[in-house]
Chain A
Amino acid sequence: MSDKPQAAISCQNVWQVFGQNADSALKEALSGNPDSESAAAALREKGLIPAVQDANFEVAEGELFVIMGLSGSGKSTLIRCISHLLHPTHGEIRIDGENIVEATAKRLIELRRNKLGMVFQHFGLFPHMSVADNVAYPLRVQGMKRKARLEKAQKVIDLVGLGGREKHHPRELSGGQRQRVGIARSLVADCSVWFLDEPFSALDPLIRRQLQDEFLQIQAELKTTIVFITHDINEALKLADRIAIMRDGKIVQIGTPSDIILNPVDDYVREFSKDVAKGRHAHLASVMQTGEGLVYGADDPGLRVDMTLDAALARCMDLYDPVPVRAEDGALLGVVNPADLAAALHVDAE
């Protein structure tokens, strides 16, 4: 850790192995094998489960980092290692430069009170507390007086749009509302690192999209560092600054959404991006070449580097003249304007 700007989160050689005597078994496997792949295979042979193997990545401050994978790929285990709900079997996890793997129990409590927030897939709301009490709970454990903490909780409750439901109990709320409570609770203590474990997976599609949009707004306002877990490639592409794709405990690729779609490292990643409308998520930057030595015509549809491929294509279409449309036997039926084609296809191209 030296000259380059310090990352908000950095993971180095993080392993999480489940099973008996995981610690010594991992040590043995690491010293006896040339790479992590064969070490993991050796562990599996012994009946242990390497849920996370050799995870290495950094998350910059204010970055929205998405970890994506199918169920059982180890993504939930990894986020629990970073938030230290699980003690990693091996490796180093630094949050703002501090190695939390070696932090004392007391220091961990301090960190959680001041720095870390987490949202859970099934909300993890306390059934015996009202919405306001749930949201204010992180302040209660710090010993803040009831009136003061409810006042502060009110602000985040309003932020997530739950004003007026403070006295309700979780069982009286819909799934979407429950997750709003979960989000509000994780924000109440002004965290700077925010963990979200599949926060929208348990919700139905319409509510999910609505919450995703609101989440992006909140993020734009707060600019916290975020680790976000999902199994939904579309959600990952929509939200992420960078995506890490996990498979069987291993991170197979880390990259921007365009990277993942346009340059998948293997068939597994390709399979994910297969159903994705590439034009909607990849940006022009990913296909642009350097201008030197290349010939370009006089036309300028006004492309910008951050445009999606779809939007760029639509702009280019505008340059075309109307073209003929024929019946099966070749008889001329009418004309179509390519710009209309583009408009019909990309309703939501911004």
Chain B
Amino acid sequence: MAGLSKGSLAALIVLLAGTLCLLLETAAPWLVSFPAHWTVPATEWVGSSMEWVLLLIKPTARVFSALMAYPMEATNLVLGGSPWILVICSVAALAWLLGGLPMALMVVVGLGFVVASGYWHKGMNTLSLVAVSVPLALFVGGAIGVLANEYPRFRKPVQALLDVMQTVPTFAYLTPLLVLFGFGPVVGLIASAIYAAPPMARNVLLGLERVEPEIKEAAIMAGGTRLQQLFQVEIPSAATQIMVGVNQSLMAALSMVIIAAIIGGFDDIGWEVLLTMRKAWFGPSLMAGMVIVVFAVIIDRMSGTLAQDNRRRYDPRIAWGILGFGIVASALSWNSLPDPSDYAMFEGVADYLDTGLSAFTTANGDWLAAFKNNAMFYGLLPLRIGLDQAVLPFTWGFQWTQQMSLWLFAFGAVLGLVLALRGQVTWGIMALIFIGMLETGITNLPWPFVLIGAAALGWVASGRGLALLAVGLLCTILVSGLWAPAMLSLYLSGAAVFACVILGGGIGLLCSVSPMAWRVVRPICDMLQTIPLFVFLIPVLMVFQIGEFSAFLAIITYAIVPMIRYSQHGLTETPDEMIEAATASGATTWQILRDVRAPYAAPTILLGLNQTILYAFAMLVITALVGTTGLGQLIYLSIGQADVGLGISAGAAMAILALIADRIVQGFAEDRRKVLGL
């Protein structure tokens, strides 16, 4: 074994484990499906202990909930009760201060659309939730960030906690909160505050850490007390980074408020989307979705300018002017202004869209169905249950036989051997493993094989610690009886991530060689990243109806963005000197791309992959709304049943999968960075 590299050795062990499992499959069926009597009722234990804890803090929570109702009603009154002209003018005045004429125009057009769509009141209800939850999140997150900075001992645990909170799916927050606060808008408020606090904490901590040491020392030498140093020097110096936190916090809060609509009880825009989607009124649901997009874009662009260095100042007199106009106009039209809910100017458009869409789907029904079925039968299904079960006369035209499996394995062995002989031992073994996985299907993989595979990846990526962590965490899923849904989730997100890598990597590559393409793709990426997750479901639902394929597409649309961005960025950030050196050596553009840019970009692209995986898991839970199976569905069900144990366990299982994937990819990225000396 001395001649084998670490990677080859790990791959070989996994191959042996896989072969062994395959051979023993019939003799020992417990290898394939984990026996039910080996599991423990962890879900119930978690449920009962959590309920006990929740019961303990419930009175406090209810008091808090009652208290929070006041600011909520107050903002609701201000936002919803004010004439819409006044609200638009106030926001436009603020926008002018932040970004001048283009920003103010964007606000007027965007909010004008909201008024015209007839969703004004519902939209304001959503915004007032955001308006109350964000200050809460900023305060809590900021305090956590400052404290973690002051007491370095807490920094590591706080960062670990923030990491975990990022991987816990959004829905999973809802069940325990539901038990604590009862149905109603306060749950959405608290959930969005909890969800929006970590980005603030993270950025405050990062900003404070990045203040130049000499600036901190200068404040010390000036004779400032610790509080003076912190509030007069360090926090203002970190303002730009903190504003990035404010921006992310706002976006997270908006996203969560809309997701929280699934528990209902509040007449907001998220609920409207959900309602129309369930009734398959796609025109109105698209309209409501557009309103959400408008809010997201306005909030993002306005708060984004705060995080820019050296931003321009705009004349405040014009802002006062806009505000004054708003006051005068609303005073003049106080009685004559009809209720904005009556506008619904776009009802015709919505209806038209609805009918147009049905016409489109009927006209292209065959083609769309063929597309969907081909992707399902020849791509997703074999991946899920394996070629041996997916290949049926009904779809593929023939029945898979034992013999075919043998031929497939023989082909894999030859392929592996060829690769090995050409010096790519690790890739050769990996090829054989992949072919074996394709034959078996991800959800039918023997659990020992998955454990050993995860351990091997962890070991190669970062060492024994990660291998042990991966096995340990996966074992908790195994014994808690959530293995099957976890594998389903793994399969769907894995397939989506794979598609994102191929597609997103390709687009990123294209954009790195063609600035023209990047100019087109970039605003699309910006847009896709601004839109709250929920909205992605609408268009795929319209065309492909409920089901796994729609979920698959929705995940790809959302998760592909980081892959594109990071590939493009990685491939174009190569230092000029290296490119010049390669050019001077006589390399062609393609050779430079392959030999210089790609290796240099590897760590960045791996980070993109990491983000893509996390995005895919985040979206996976949301797609439970359009009927996926797996952990997402369990979490979604638990909300309906207020089953804390199930919600938390399934959420934890999801977080575990995301965490392991995150650590493994980070490990590989770190490794590449070390090799490059970065």
Residues of chain A having any CB pair with chain B under 8 Å? 80, 83, 85, 109-114, 116-118, 120-129, 137-138, 140-142, 171, 182, 185-186, 189, 195
**Contact call B221/A83, Cβ cutoff below 8 A:** yes
Given A120-B214, A124-B215; A185-B222 close (CB under 8 Å): yes
Instruction: Count residues of B near A (Cβ-Cβ below 8 Å).
Output: 19
Chain B residues with Cβ under 8 A from A138's Cβ? 222-223
**Contact call B220/A141, Cβ cutoff below 8 A:** no
Q: Which of B232-240, B383-391, B526-534 contacts A (4 or more CB under 8 A)?
A: B232-240
Asked if B310 is at the interface (CB within 8 A of a chain A CB), the reply is: yes
Asked if B595 is at the interface (CB within 8 A of a chain A CB), the reply is: no
**Contact call B218/A185, Cβ cutoff below 8 A:** yes
Chain A residues with Cβ under 8 A from B351's Cβ? none
Q: How far is the CB of B10 from chain A (nearest CB, A)?
A: 31
Asked if B472 is at the interface (CB within 8 A of a chain A CB), the reply is: no
- Report the nearest A residue to B216, measured CB to CB: A124
Closest 9 CB pairs of A and B: A113-B223, A124-B214, A124-B218, A112-B223, A138-B222, A141-B224, A118-B221, A120-B214, A128-B236
- Report the nearest A residue to B220, measured CB to CB: A85
Bound: A141/B232 CA distance, A: 9
Asked if B333 is at the interface (CB within 8 A of a chain A CB), the reply is: no
Chain B residues with Cβ under 8 A from A124's Cβ? 212, 214-215, 217-218
Chain A residues with Cβ under 8 A from B225's Cβ? 109, 141
What are 17 pairs between A and B in contact, CB < 8 Å? A109-B224, A111-B223, A113-B222, A124-B212, A124-B214, A125-B215, A127-B215, A128-B237, A128-B239, A137-B224, A140-B232, A141-B222, A141-B223, A142-B223, A171-B310, A185-B222, A186-B221
Within 8 Å by CB of B223, from A126, A127, A128, A189, lies A189
Interface of B is mostly: helix
Q: How far is the CB of B234 from chain A (nearest CB, A)?
A: 10
- Report the nearest B residue to A84, measured CB to CB: B220
Apart from A120-B218, A141-B228, list 6 A-B contacts with CB within 8 A.
A113-B222, A122-B212, A124-B212, A127-B237, A128-B239, A141-B223
What is the 8 Å Cβ interface bit string for chain B, positions 259-297, against chain A (1 contact, 0 not)? 000000000000000000000000000000000000000
Bound: A140/B219 CA distance, A: 11
Q: How far is the CB of B668 from chain A (nearest CB, A)?
A: 29
Chain A residues with Cβ under 8 A from B222's Cβ? 112-113, 137-138, 141, 185, 189
- Report the nearest B residue to A169, measured CB to CB: B310
What is the 8 Å Cβ interface bit string for chain B, positions 198-231, against chain A (1 contact, 0 not)? 0000000000000010110111111111001000
Q: By CB atoms of chain A within 10 A, which of B218, B224, B310 has the most?
A: B218
Q: How far is the CB of B213 from chain A (nearest CB, A)?
A: 8
**Contact call A117/B221, Cβ cutoff below 8 A:** yes
Bound: A138/B217 CA distance, A: 12
- Report the nearest A residue to B218, measured CB to CB: A124
Bound: A137/B221 CA distance, A: 11
Bound: A123/B218 CA distance, A: 9
Bound: A69/B224 CA distance, A: 31
Q: How far is the CB of B505 from chain A (nearest CB, A)?
A: 39
Chain A residues with Cβ under 8 A from B236's Cβ? 126, 128-129
**Contact call B310/A121, Cβ cutoff below 8 A:** no
Chain B residues with Cβ under 8 A from A121's Cβ? 214
Within 8 Å by CB of B217, from A120, A127, A128, lies A120
Q: How far is the CB of B87 from chain A (nearest CB, A)?
A: 32
Bound: A121/B223 CA distance, A: 19
**Contact call A118/B217, Cβ cutoff below 8 A:** yes
Chain B residues with Cβ under 8 A from A125's Cβ? 215, 218
Chain A residues with Cβ under 8 A from B215's Cβ? 124-127
